Amino acid sequence: MNVGQQATDFTCAAVSDQGEIIDQFNLYQAIDGQYAVLFFYPLDFTFVCPTEMIALNKRMQKFKQLNTKVIAVSIDSQFTHLKWRDTAINDGGIGPVDYTMAADVSHAICQAYGVEHNEAFVAYRASIIIDTNKKIRVKHVNDLPVGRNIDELVRTVQALQYTDKHGEVCQAGWQEGHAGFQASPKGVSQFLAETADQL
């Protein structure tokens, strides 16, 4: 699946943000009326993954303020997710995170979204942002050894919401609280005349 396409719906087992096992977690039901981030990662109880998951959890209040549902997805079972969540950070766990963890044991979800590693057969470190119309707006994919910048993920959601609300485009490095500009020759000329030295 690529940017601009409708996000593929799925139903699978999951662990809720309250630490409860959900037998039939449905994407479309869970994200209805919200933006969403599908946060694919390779495996529970590994090495780079807990750093990403803890960093993601530390920014959950911001995602909630942005009306954005976060769903982490790996090929582990819901039982492994729950065990990892119930393991203390100092013991290699991630603690009681505030987002849903989907169990893609069949690999159908990572395959549908085109983010399965073709040799390791786990998900790449992929972040997919879906808008309120359930359309894919952003797809970032990192190779397995490279952890993501969660602040950049937050910034990208903010930028999408700005463009959706104001009908303007966001320049390189746009930050919350900054203005964008009209997508026109006049708009870009005026913007660059005023701010090119800040890019």
Question: Which residues form the catalytic set?
Answer: 49
Helices (H) and strands (E) in the chain, counts: 7, 7
User: Distance between CA atoms of 43 and 40, rounded to whole angstroms?
Assistant: 9
User: Distance between CA atoms of 141 and 180, rounded to whole angstroms?
Assistant: 26
Q: Which residues of 167-176 are buried (b: 16+ CB within 10 A; e: fewer)?
A: ebbbbeebee
User: Distance between CA atoms of 41 and 66, rounded to whole angstroms?
Assistant: 22
